[in-house]
Structure 1
Amino acid sequence: MQRPSLRRLLDQGLGAKLTLVTAPAGFGKSMLITEWIREQSYAYGWIFLDERDNILVRFMEYLIAALRTIQPGLCDSVLQYIQETRNFSAETAMTLLMNEVQALNQEIIIILDDYHVICEPSIHHGLTFLLTYLPRNMHLVIASRSEPKLPLSVMLAKRQLVRISANDLRFTADEIRELFKLTVDKRLTKEELVCLERRTEGWIAGLQKVNLEVPLRLLRMLF
């Protein structure tokens, strides 16, 4: 379903360096970004992270792979540098990468999904360096269950960051009504909607589970 207020925040983020979406599991972070990015004219690369990616060279290889979905063959110099240089510098690698991105004649978005799994300091340092000198034609979107170890306060003060939190992602009673309208056999009163919002705290995963699995007659017994 459409959520215009969140779409506006994501659109607003394109004027900054970083859009940060933070919320616990099940709040629809990836779903929101997926629905939004499909409507954009920007080229984009999406990186799905897991615990095994806490190695700087692997992280850089994934970043290069994401960029190559936009422009094949991009960042050859970066790839050669990180693969041939033992204990390479994250700053040097990011500088080489930014030089190649800056030469592109198009706006691009890189999405880092599940960034909360990253705990390697060298990756945080490299990403901080990238954000500090980010090319004008590049924008980052980070989805995370927790706040990443990046200079968020500084970026916020400089208006380089747009944040979307769990509070923003929670469904209101009106949005819950729209969600349940999609199911013919579920017609809730205003009072029931308010109660459902309070019980689920607007958590989309919980709402979807109720909508798909709980018959209306049983649902009303919960109120």
Structure 2
Amino acid sequence: MDISELLNSSTGQSLIRSISDKLGINEKEASGVVSTAIPAILAGMTKNAQTAEGAESLNRAIESKHDGSLLDNLSNILQGQTQELQNDGDGILGHVFGSKRTAVEQTLSKKTGVSSGKIGPLLALLAPIVMAYLGKEKRKTSTGAGGLGDLLGGLLGSGSQGRSGGGIMDMISGTLDKDGDGDVIDEIFDMFSKKR
């Protein structure tokens, strides 16, 4: 299972409609931005999970707050006041991207054509949803801190599943795969691992 299944579900469609309304962009634009932003967040988490300390920190955050229950009521939450969700997302993004958050927002803005002023709130809204999805999958697979990197790779649609297509990465590879090697993870990592 990867996160493209969430995006293609009724919950995902509700998320895209909500983001379209909140940011004042059409649903096609919203879908494109979400399809690009979620892998960027997941890639940031994957990078953090490459160290034992980072994996443990991510694991603690999931265990304490992000068990997946947010997804059960997401449509109602998105129709209401989302400030609490965005505040939570700002905290998550601080851990995921650190000082590189602005660079990530600017890169996503260039890739999608949506202003970076709208990308910031969008990322903040998406981060808790991504964490909830990760928490749900972690619980389902009984994954510990040491296995989070592999779990994240699976959600990204990359990794050892031998998948030939259909993952979220396929949805955005044409946009982000600058070097044409079929692997967009390196390009997403470059958003915040290199100085721009």
Q: TM-score range by the shorter chain?
A: under 0.3
From the two aligned structures, give the one with the greater helix fraction.
2
User: If the length of structure 1 is used for normalisation, what is the TM-score?
Assistant: 0.23
From the two aligned structures, give the one with the greater strand fraction.
1
User: If the length of structure 2 is used for normalisation, what is the TM-score?
Assistant: 0.25
Larger radius of gyration, structure 1 or 2? 1
